[in-house]
Structure 1
Amino acid sequence: MASRRSRQSSTLFAESDGLKPLAERMRPQTLDQVVGQGRLLGEGKPLRRAIESGKLHSMILWGPPGCGKTTLALLLARYADAEFKAISAVLSGLPDVRAALAEAEATFAQGRRTVLFVDEVHRFNKSQQDAFLPHIERGVIILVGATTENPSFELNSALLSRCRVHVLEALTIEQIVEALQHALADTVRGLGDMQLEVDTQSLQLIAQAADGDVRRALTLLEIASELADAGRIDEATLTQVLADRTRRFDKGGEQFYDQISALHKSVRSSDPDAALYWLTRMLDGGVDPAYLARRLTRMAIEDIGLADPRALSLALEAWNTYERLGSPEGELAFAELAIYLAIAAKSNAAYAAFNAARAEVQANGTLDVPMHLRNAPTRLMKGLGYGKGYQYDHDAEGGVALDQQCLPDALVDREFYQPVERGLELKIGEKLAALRAARRDARKQGKPS
């Protein structure tokens, strides 16, 4: 096994040339060269043992860009002495899938399996995903699907039931620095022959800019090496290379929804610092401002509600301010709003009351409007009793006709809204409790409504 791996590594080194990007040249050739992913590939871990023994299973590799999904698929094929075939769900359709599977069938007939690597597998539709199933079951292919999206949402259950999902993590700054140091020292595949001068702090800046993506870090290092003055990567060089760095943010993927969830829950938890951080992360990632405005307005309604009715007004004003000022000036209105929402008194009482009323409507169907509340624009309707007995509340003592029933007969005494003891709802709750008690007393006295 070891000698075969050595021969394979030597062949790969011989094929490498200066035209390949540094990130491709430095792709790990053995499991020991892999940086990070110790939870899956550390000594004695189940996946590592399976790979080293050549006893592989079809799998979905879920993780952010540049964490090693393609590398791991290549290593699987090498350790299992299997054919390696790669297709991209972005560039391939069903005919390409069928062609790849036909090649795998021919290889299987010769007594050898194929590791079929499908990049961005979540982009395939159901019929394309289903095409793999019989070949996985017969052992023709070892499917390795790579995705940056949550497989639970993006892959169909039939495919998931035949694959194990392995979660890969973004690399830490320390791990990326280690990979950069390997590239600087390697004279065969890396930049060792250039004898570049670069200190640890500069490598850390590159690693930080890569944002967990080792491939991106190696690309930045390669660019820096080309711009280096007299073989030294200094602050001036890094200023040019890192000027336009961006953070990871997928406007339609799981990171997007994770971050808006974090913003909403930070507001709900009355943590203005966290709310401001997640708001800034989303703005930095290029979130649609209209979407952000809608979500902040929803927070004002759902989580603050009548505990502080000003929150909704401020949300609408911030939205209007952004539309008038645009970016970046208008973003400050969102920042102020996020801070205010976080520190405001919280209540979901109106939200819960609405949900309770909706559930009641769905459960009880079309209940009749009490006769005294019905409109009576015609003589016929008046004759049928529409509006009879209605009390005009402004004429009643205290401005409320306490004995007047407004809910359908089947729902008398039903209370949907339960104010919390925070903010303005303290006062609302006191008034509402008195009104409800007075209505109950009036009904007990049996006054006609």
Structure 2
Amino acid sequence: MSRPRSPDPAPDLLAAQNEALRPLAERMRPRTLDEMVGQQRLLAPGSALRRAIQAGRLHSMILWGPPGCGKTTLALLLAQHADAEFVAISAVLSGLPQVREVLAQAQARFDAGRRTLLFVDEVHRFNKVQQDAFLPHIERGTILFVGATTENPSFELNSALLSRCRVHVLEAVSAPDIARALRQSLDEEERGLGGRGLCIDDVALGEIAAAADGDVRRALTLLEIAADIAEGEGGTITEATLHQVLADRTRRFDKGGDQFYDQISALHKSVRSSNPDGAIYWLARMLDGGCDPSYLLRRMTIMAVEDIGLADPRALEMALNVWNAYDRIGPPEGDIALSNLAIYLASTAKSNASYMALKGARADIAALGTQPVPMHLRNAPTRLMKSLGHGTGYQYDHDVEGGIALDQTAFPDAMGERVYYQPVSRGLEIRLKEKLDALREARARARDGRDR
């Protein structure tokens, strides 16, 4: 005999159960602009974007910012204010067939008198053909297009899509703002943790906010984990609880994106500015983020060549020695060698005179074309070449008094003398400058005497 079926749970009970299963970060997603934390520059009362949102006069846009800064939440609020159907797709999971299906549904919805806000997460992962599929629908107004990206749109999105969208830059959320969001979740009973009798002081809350590294979603996830642990320990989130939760935290670092190149730029510019403390900070940031030490060594060798040059030729030698040492000893001791190099490069004399000299010579080559080598400088290994005048008039400098043939030019006849290398009055180049200034003056006098 079969057992009687239990009645289905009431719809309201099911909804409550489903809500409880959702992560805290999802449950606490802001429902109004005022609930959003961070982005004061973009969404402050009276700002252009906020006025447009509140008036429902929205435009297609690209939201560019780091993870957890509120891109998806803002898109949801945009749909709410525009009274539009919110449809989300991910460029990671969707291909062109799915895109076409979503656009066809949006067209049908538009024909029925309702607009669609199409939110495309990770839009930079779509190729050109996939990006182009949105263009006619944006132009006709079939969709309000909102693309979210963590990458620089100038590099990752095609110009046709960018020309039809306005780019809004979102920033990483500050630790105080994240702490405010955490406190809201602890006070909120309906969606948050307010009914669980949890206790946490402001210092501990600040530690979680700082560990989230600008990512509100990450902060709420960390708080939820801490709350689950604390429930079995009397409800207080202690220092020991935080130690368990935050032990394996990592900082934001994109090894192939803008953050990566911004940080190596900061390291290079700190070295160039002779600021060893700044250089060490950015070196540590990149190592902390998992940057390949070989990349750092290559870039610091470039700094030794480009920004230090002949002001201190030992810099290049040290860079190559540290590179060799790192290959032999590896981390963590090899990181100390990297630190030595960064401090030395930042502290020593700087000169880009060699770099500028090469640029000047290349500019003349581009402007003047392939000038013939003067006869006296040409190679003459055969009798025929000698009979044609190759090498005629060449003065062997070692046989000349003083060891330098002052009236002998090194340039093509049509160019005359040029000065490309201008040593700076720093480091070793001080002595090079003194010598070359005197030598150039002596050459000028010798040429004047010869011309007379």
For the aligned pair, the TM-score class normalised by the smaller chain equals: over 0.9
Match of 1:164 among 166, 181, 206: 166
- Residue 5 of structure 1 is matched in structure 2 by none
Does structure 2 retain, via aligned residues, the 8 Å contact 1:403–1:447?
no
- Residue 7 of structure 2 is matched in structure 1 by none
Match of 1:90 among 71, 89, 92: 92
Q: Does 1:330 align with 2:334?
A: yes
C-alpha deviation, 1:84, in angstroms: 0.8
The alignment yields a C-alpha RMSD, in angstroms, of 1.8
- Residue 153 of structure 2 is matched in structure 1 by 151
Matched AA of 1:44: G
Match of 2:39 among 37, 40, 44: 37
- Residue 7 of structure 1 is matched in structure 2 by none
C-alpha deviation, 1:243, in angstroms: 0.7
C-alpha deviation, 1:55, in angstroms: 1.8
Matched AA of 2:38: G
Distance (Å, rounded) in 2 between the aligned partners of 1:122 and 1:408:
52
Match of 2:276 among 256, 267, 272: 272
- Give SS of 1:145's match: strand
Q: Which runs of 5+ in 2 are unaligned?
A: 1-11
Distance (Å, rounded) in 2 between the aligned partners of 1:234 and 1:138:
56
Does structure 2 retain, via aligned residues, the 8 Å contact 1:315–1:337?
yes
- Residue 254 of structure 2 is matched in structure 1 by 250
- Residue 238 of structure 1 is matched in structure 2 by 242
TM-score normalised to the size of structure 1? 0.94
Decide which moves more: 291-300 or 118-127: 118-127
- Give SS of 2:391's match: coil
- Residue 108 of structure 1 is matched in structure 2 by 110
- Give SS of 2:414's match: helix
C-alpha deviation, 1:14, in angstroms: 5.6
- Residue 419 of structure 1 is matched in structure 2 by 423
Matched AA of 2:164: R
Decide which moves more: 137-146 or 96-105: 96-105
Q: Does 1:315 align with 2:319?
A: yes
Does structure 1 retain, via aligned residues, the 8 Å contact 2:409–2:417?
no
Matched AA of 1:156: N
- Residue 396 of structure 2 is matched in structure 1 by 392
- Give SS of 2:309's match: helix
- Residue 66 of structure 2 is matched in structure 1 by 64
Q: Does 1:370 align with 2:406?
A: no
- Give SS of 2:189's match: coil
Task: Please list the CA deviations of residues 116-173 of structure 1 after superposition, one character each: whole Å capped at 9, or x if unmatched.
Answer: 0011111222222121111111111000111111222222222122111111111111
Matched AA of 1:394: H
Task: Please list the CA deviations of residues 80-108 of structure 1 after superposition, one character each: whole Å capped at 9, or x if unmatched.
Answer: 22111111112222222211111111111
- Give SS of 1:146's match: strand
Matched AA of 1:372: H
Match of 1:431 among 435, 440, 448: 435
Distance (Å, rounded) in 2 between the aligned partners of 1:160 and 1:13:
40
- Residue 296 of structure 1 is matched in structure 2 by 300
Distance (Å, rounded) in 1 between the aligned partners of 2:367 and 2:94:
49
Distance (Å, rounded) in 2 between the aligned partners of 1:417 and 1:13:
76
C-alpha deviation, 1:336, in angstroms: 1.0
TM-score normalised to the size of structure 2? 0.94
Identity %: 70
- Residue 121 of structure 2 is matched in structure 1 by 119
Match of 2:193 among 187, 191, 194: 191
Task: Please list the CA deviations of residues 215-245 of structure 1 after superposition, one character each: whole Å capped at 9, or x if unmatched.
Answer: 0000101111121222111111111110111
Q: Which runs of 5+ in 1 are unaligned?
A: 1-9
- Residue 81 of structure 1 is matched in structure 2 by 83
- Give SS of 1:250's match: coil
C-alpha deviation, 1:15, in angstroms: 8.3
- Give SS of 1:330's match: helix
Runs of 4+ with deviation above 3 angstroms:
12-16
